[in-house]
Amino acid sequence: MNPSPSKVFITGGAGFIGSNVAKYFLERNHSVVIFDNLSTGYMQNIPSFLNVQFVKGDIRDKELLTKSMAGCEAVLHLAAAVGNIRSIENTVEDSEINVLGTLHVLDVARHIGIRKIVYSSSAAIFGELKRLPIDEEHPTTPDSPYGVSKLAGELHCLCYAKLYGMDIVCLRYFNVYGPNQCYDAYGNVIPIFSTRKLKGEPFVIYGDGEQTRDFVHVFDIAQANYLGTTLSNVGGIYNVGAGQSITINQLADMMNEIGDQKPVPIQHVPARKGEVKHSLATIEKAKKILGYQPTQTIQAGLKGYWEWIQSVS
């Protein structure tokens, strides 16, 4: 293991995943610089620690990136325009942020002399699935501008690693959930179901509900980011999931069993076009090389998320 970087730079650190990653580092006595434009992140997400600094900025602003990143020893790049539907509606902006912005982060880090970068990618890069479970060698044929832009970010990372000897880790996240994840009509089903449960509204399930997802808790995502940062010479691509999946029907039943509220009805509506039927990550590579080990069961994670969303509602 490398001497751990004492000061890390986290883009998107006020967002759902980024704020949990920042907290993970801060709890382990690292200094953290959070760089976020607050377009989807929130100041209240930023952990209250003495050794955290916040810079409001956009990753497309190379001059501010250079000034803010100075003195840091590692970069965790989580800032992104997220979502398949959003990317279809705003394709140019999606590419500007996820491709050009990523290039700015890589280039500034290179010129400053930072070798260690952890890049947040997504299972959206796979597109239509050819086999299950999904390993790192699965074909990448993204079917949305978002998937294309995240794959382009991966390829730029691998290119910089090869050209400039940088130690870059790319983490492909599956269905992430947990504290600080707010309701989004286009987002993860868990916040959507939780919001409906709070209001006593039916869970709406598209299709027969037998589609499966690999739900991974954000605490485990933070763990993977920490391992990718503090271990040396582990560059490359890693799937980060729970390594197990459940159906949406099972998820709805689990969420109805949480808390003291009366169960809400379950409503099935026609399936959405283009929706992935099944998703399940192989995480053996991350386990073997990074020492990654999921710690949160879906039952415990859902209970914790329900308690969190009640506390902020």
Give the active site residues: 146
Q: Whole-angstrom Cα distance, residue 137 to residue 310?
A: 40
Do 14 and 43 form a contact (C-beta atoms < 8 A)?
Answer: yes
In sign, the C-alpha dihedral spanning 275, 220, 161, 32 is positive
Q: What is the largest CA-CA distance in the chain?
A: 58
Do 133 and 213 form a contact (C-beta atoms < 8 A)?
Answer: no
Query: What is the DSSP annotation of the chain?
Result: -PPPPSEEEEETTTSHHHHHHHHHHHTTT-EEEEEE--SS--GGGS---TTEEEEE--TT-HHHHHHHHTT-SEEEE------HHHHHHSHHHHHIIIIIHHHHHHHHHHHHT--EEEEEEEGGGSBS--SSSB-TTS--B--SHHHHHHHHHHHHHHHHHHHH--EEEEEEE-EEE-TT----TTS-HHHHHHHHHHHTPPEEEETTS--EE-EEEHHHHHHHHHHHHHSSS--EEEEES-S--EEHHHHHHHHHHSSSSPPPPEEEEPPPTT--S---B--HHIIIII-------HHHHHHHHHHHHHHH-
Instruction: Return the bridge partners of 177, or none.
Output: 217
Do 191 and 309 form a contact (C-beta atoms < 8 A)?
Answer: yes
